[in-house]
Every structure is written in C-alpha cells, then in structure tokens.
Amino acid sequence: MKKTLFLVFLGLALIASAYMAFIYYVPYSTGTRAGELIKISQKGVFFKTWEGEISQGISGAQIFSFSILDDDKEVIEKLNELQGKYVKIKYTERYKTFFIWGDSNYFVTEVVLEKSPHINNR
C-alpha cells in the first residue's frame, strides 16, 4: 500500500513538474510592441510581481499590459527610468502564467527608447 501511494505521489509530482517546465520554457509567441510607457509598478501582498502598461493609441485607447519576471533586474530598472516615454518592448507570450510570475501572459524581455511618431519633428 505504501509503495502504491508513493508511486501515485511521484507520478503526480512528475506531471506537475513537466507542466510547469512546459509553461515556463515553451513560448506561445514572441514579438515587439511600441507605445508610451504609462505604468510600471510592483504589486501583490505575499508575492510581489512587476506589472506594466504601454499605450499604443492616441489618448490611451489601446493599452497593452505586461509582466516582468523578477530575474530581469536590468529590464525593471530601464522601465522605471523610461516611464512616460515612447518605448519599444520585446516580449514572450506564454500559454499560461502562475500568480508568482505576474498577472499577464506577456513577459517583457527587453526595452529600448524609441522616437515617438506623434511628435512632429520639423
């Protein structure tokens, strides 16, 4: 009986580990988006996650929400510096997310300051 119970728990642990590895290492899509960085914040009570938003339209009509993993310290610092400016971000979309990673399925991996197309440069 103990051996059967052990094998059941071992099987469940392996399935859960494989599921988490699949969600973390296999991206659904990758891409870039550009817009005005309107929000970057750390939120949560027990598990703090970094969340952000860029406005991709005039007057904030189209908002793109994203998360940043805690391991990406350089990206977090750069986003904090560039808040309110026009940026281009590279992201990875995952199939799902876990509450300890962030609210969004989109995870920013790189951020670059970009020239705004809304400013008339004469």
| Every domain of the chain and the residues it spans | 28-113
Average model confidence (pLDDT) across the chain:
89
Rounded (to 5) percent helix, strand, coil in the chain: 30, 40, 30
Let me know: does 52 contact 72? Beta carbons within 8 Å.
no
pLDDT for res 122: 45
Helix (H/G/I), strand (E/B), else coil: 3: helix
pLDDT at 101: 84
Mean pLDDT of the 79-100 span: 91
Token duo for residue 115:
């020239």
pLDDT at residue 121 greater than cutoff 60: no
The three-class DSSP label of residue 19 is: helix
pLDDT at 120: 58
User: In terms of CATH, what superfamily is 28-113?
Assistant: Nucleic acid-binding proteins (2.40.50.140)
Give the dihedral sign, CA 95/97/101/102: positive
Token code pair at residue 41: 């914040």
For residue range 33-48, what is the model confidence (pLDDT) as tens digits? 999 999 999 998 888 9
